[in-house]
């Protein structure tokens, strides 16, 4: 990178562009050629370019021709003379510089990809002259200034990606004129102002990503007109309205993320009409009211995150219908009422976090049926009663926090006596093979359990502990893998003295 002189890179760009114009006007590149670029022949010009020593890499992705051998020095103003160019992809080159206004001369351009080329400065308003453009990607650059309203002239645009730049100012309302748009990504800029209600005209839109900007104001109710919308991500902005009930019209929605805003009001019950929804993220807002019962209609939901709001009322028992739910995060709100027993029907649950609410009543035994559970946080609630034994038999449970409740009874681990000691050892280490090392380990564990036992056979004194540790080391009589926690708890361990093989019953 960076070795080419500016003049040679201008020459390269020009030559490349010319060859592309020739190629594209000669070959309509079918989408079937995407993965097998070798299946179509190059024009004489392209071959000459290849022979000239320029590394014109054949494409493996979406791009028929890709030039990524370290072009530097910016896009020359002379690009404007290539008025017949239909396809220009200079992505992943270190071009730097700014976009020349003469770019607007390429009125036949259908595909413009300048992703990841370090270009800065503003997007010239002449971009609005690229009336044939269907695919525009300027993402992952340093573009600044605001999005020119003329962008609304690109009537044939299907995909627009301006993500990850430094664009400021409002989203121009002219964007609503792009009626063929299916993909709109403005993520990771500093766009401000509100989302123009004209976005509701983009009836072909499938992807709408406005994440990580400084958008404020309300979510326009016109968003409910986007009947093709499948992916909606508005997270990490400053949106401060309630969620419009019209959101329920987005029948094709699969992923919805409005997290990390300041949305208020209650969650509209119409959300229950989004039957294709798999991800629902509303966390870190100021949503209040209760979780609508209709949430139970979202049969395809796999992950629900409504944490860090001010939701109150009970967790609806209809949650038991969400048979595909794997991740349920309702922590840090003001939910009250009991944990619904119906949670036991959610056989696919892996992680549950309901911590830091006002939940009361007992922990339902049915949670013990969730055999895939790895994470269960119910801490900082007002739960009462005994800890159900069933929790102890959850085979994959790795994280359990029941603290800061009013629970009584035994720790579930008391009941895990049928676990083997080898199950609780650090899995990253090989279990000891030396029977003396195994004996030491079992002795320490047995004495630790004796100290915890409410009715131990004998509670070891400090004197006894030190005597045990200082006495002649004993080997374990049986292989370590046969030792269960029950054996340790009940001090039913046999040791042999190394010297005389005498079996002694460990009565520590």
Ligand X SMILES: *[C@@H]1O[C@H](CO)[C@@H](O)[C@H](O)[C@H]1NC(C)=O
Residues that bind ligand X (CB under 6 A): 77, 80-81, 83, 98, 102, 104-105, 120-121, 125-126, 128-129, 142, 144, 150, 155-156, 179-180, 211, 233, 235, 240, 242, 251-252, 255, 257, 259, 264-265, 275-276, 279, 281, 283-284, 305, 307-308, 329, 384, 406
Query: Is the CB of 281 or the CB of 495 nearer to ligand X?
Result: 281
Pairing of strands 358-361, 503-505: unpaired
**Minimal distance, residue 384 CB to ligand X, in Å:** 5
**Minimal distance, residue 405 CB to ligand X, in Å:** 9
Query: Is the CB of 186 or the CB of 343 nearer to ligand X?
Result: 186
Q: Which helix (H) or strand (E) holds 10?
A: helix 6-26
**Minimal distance, residue 173 CB to ligand X, in Å:** 17
User: Could you give the maximum distance between any two Cα atoms of the chain, in Å?
Assistant: 98
**Minimal distance, residue 217 CB to ligand X, in Å:** 9
CB 137 within 8 A of CB 116: no
Query: Is the CB of 382 or the CB of 423 nearer to ligand X?
Result: 382
Cα distance between residue 436 and residue 217, in whole Å:
70
Tell me how crowded residue 283 is: count the other CB atoms within 10 A of its CB. Answer: 23
Q: What are phi and psi of 173, to 5 degrees?
A: -70, -15
For residue 429, give every residue at least 6 positions away whose Cβ sits within 8 Å of its Cβ, in sequence order, or none. none
**Minimal distance, residue 454 CB to ligand X, in Å:** 19
* Strand positions, DSSP E, 15-146: 56-58, 65-67, 87-89, 111-113, 120-121, 135-137, 142-143
Query: Is the CB of 59 or the CB of 137 nearer to ligand X?
Result: 137
**Minimal distance, residue 212 CB to ligand X, in Å:** 6
Query: Is the CB of 23 or the CB of 75 nearer to ligand X?
Result: 75
CB 458 within 8 A of CB 508: yes
CB 368 within 8 A of CB 345: no
**Minimal distance, residue 143 CB to ligand X, in Å:** 8
Percent of the chain as helix, strand, coil, to the nearest 5: 30, 20, 50
Query: Is the CB of 408 or the CB of 461 nearer to ligand X?
Result: 408
DSSP 242-263: BPPGGGGG-TT--EEE--SS--
CA distances from 318 to 239, 341, 343, 424 (A): 29, 10, 9, 37
**Minimal distance, residue 257 CB to ligand X, in Å:** 4
The residue behind tokens 């119910």 is 378
Query: Is the CB of 328 or the CB of 450 nearer to ligand X?
Result: 328
Cα distance between residue 132 and residue 84, in whole Å:
11
**Minimal distance, residue 176 CB to ligand X, in Å:** 12
- The region, left, alpha or beta by phi > 0 then psi within -120 to 50, assigned to residue 507 is beta
Query: Is the CB of 273 or the CB of 474 nearer to ligand X?
Result: 273
**Minimal distance, residue 354 CB to ligand X, in Å:** 12
Cα distance between residue 394 and residue 367, in whole Å:
9
Query: Is the CB of 140 or the CB of 416 nearer to ligand X?
Result: 140
Query: Is the CB of 37 or the CB of 308 nearer to ligand X?
Result: 308
Query: Is the CB of 279 or the CB of 495 nearer to ligand X?
Result: 279
Query: Is the CB of 43 or the CB of 276 nearer to ligand X?
Result: 276
CB 495 within 8 A of CB 469: no
Cα distance between residue 189 and residue 210, in whole Å:
9
Position closest to ligand X via CB: 120
**Minimal distance, residue 364 CB to ligand X, in Å:** 16
**Minimal distance, residue 461 CB to ligand X, in Å:** 35
Cα distance between residue 195 and residue 498, in whole Å:
78
**Minimal distance, residue 20 CB to ligand X, in Å:** 17
The gap between the terminal CA atoms of the chain, to the nearest Å, is 71
- The region, left, alpha or beta by phi > 0 then psi within -120 to 50, assigned to residue 10 is alpha
Query: Is the CB of 64 or the CB of 188 nearer to ligand X?
Result: 188
Compute CA 224 distance to the chain's CA centroid, rounded to the nearest angstrom.
25
């Amino acid at each position: 990178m960076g070795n080419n002189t500016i003049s040679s890179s201008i020459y390269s760009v020009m030559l490349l562009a010319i060859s592309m114009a020739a190629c594209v006007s000669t070959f309509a590149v079918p989408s079937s050629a995407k993965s097998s670029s070798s299946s179509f022949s190059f024009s004489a010009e392209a071959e000459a370019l290849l022979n000239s020593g320029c590394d014109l890499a054949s494409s493996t992705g979406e791009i028929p021709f890709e030039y990524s051998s370290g072009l530097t020095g910016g896009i020359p103003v002379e690009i404007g003379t290539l008025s017949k160019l239909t396809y220009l992809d200079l992505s992943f080159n270190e071009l730097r510089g700014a976009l020349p206004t003469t770019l607007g001369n390429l009125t036949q351009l259908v595909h413009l990809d300048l992703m990841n080329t370090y270009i800065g400065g503003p997007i010239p308003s002449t971009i609005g002259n690229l009336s044939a453009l269907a695919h525009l990607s300027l993402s992952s650059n340093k573009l600044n200034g605001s999005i020119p309203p003329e962008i609304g002239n690109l009537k044939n645009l299907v995909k627009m990606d301006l993500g990850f730049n430094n664009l400021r100012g409002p989203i121009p309302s002219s964007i609503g004129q792009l009626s063929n748009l299916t993909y709109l990504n403005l993520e990771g800029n500093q766009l401000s102002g509100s989302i123009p209600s004209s976005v509701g005209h983009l009836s072909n839109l499938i992807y709408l990503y406005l994440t990580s900007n400084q958008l404020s104001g309300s979510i326009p109710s016109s968003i409910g007109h986007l009947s093709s919308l499948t992916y909606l991500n508005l997270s990490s902005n400053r949106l401060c309205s309630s969620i419009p009930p019209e959101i329920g019209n987005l029948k094709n929605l699969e992923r919805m993320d409005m997290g990390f805003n300041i949305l208020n009001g209650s969650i509209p019950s119409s959300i229950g009409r989004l039957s294709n929804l798999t991800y629902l993220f509303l966390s870190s807002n100021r949503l209040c009211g209760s979780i609508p019962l209709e949430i139970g209609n979202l049969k395809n939901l796999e992950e629900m995150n409504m944490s860090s709001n001010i939701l109150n009322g009970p967790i609806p028992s209809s949650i038991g219908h969400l048979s595909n739910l794997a991740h349920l995060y309702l922590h840090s709100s003001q939910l009250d009422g009991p944990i619904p027993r119906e949670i036991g029907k959610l056989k696919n649950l892996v992680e549950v976090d309901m911590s830091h609410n006002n939940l009361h009543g007992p922990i339902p035994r049915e949670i013990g049926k969730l055999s895939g559970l790895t994470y269960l946080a119910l801490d900082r609630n007002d739960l009462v009663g005994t800890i159900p034994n069933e929790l102890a038999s959850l085979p994959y449970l790795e994280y359990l926090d029941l603290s800061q409740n009013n629970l009584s009874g035994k720790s579930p681990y008391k009941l895990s006596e049928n676990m083997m000691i080898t199950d609780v050892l650090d899995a990253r280490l090989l279990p000891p093979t030396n029977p003396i090392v195994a004996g030491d380990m079992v002795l320490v564990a047995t004495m630790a359990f004796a100290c915890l036992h409410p009715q131990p056979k004998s509670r070891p004194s400090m004197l006894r502990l030190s005597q045990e540790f200082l006495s002649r080391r004993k080997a374990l009589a049986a292989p370590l893998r046969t030792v269960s926690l029950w054996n340790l708890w009940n001090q039913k361990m046999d040791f042999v003295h190394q010297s005389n093989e005498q079996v002694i019953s460990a009565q520590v």
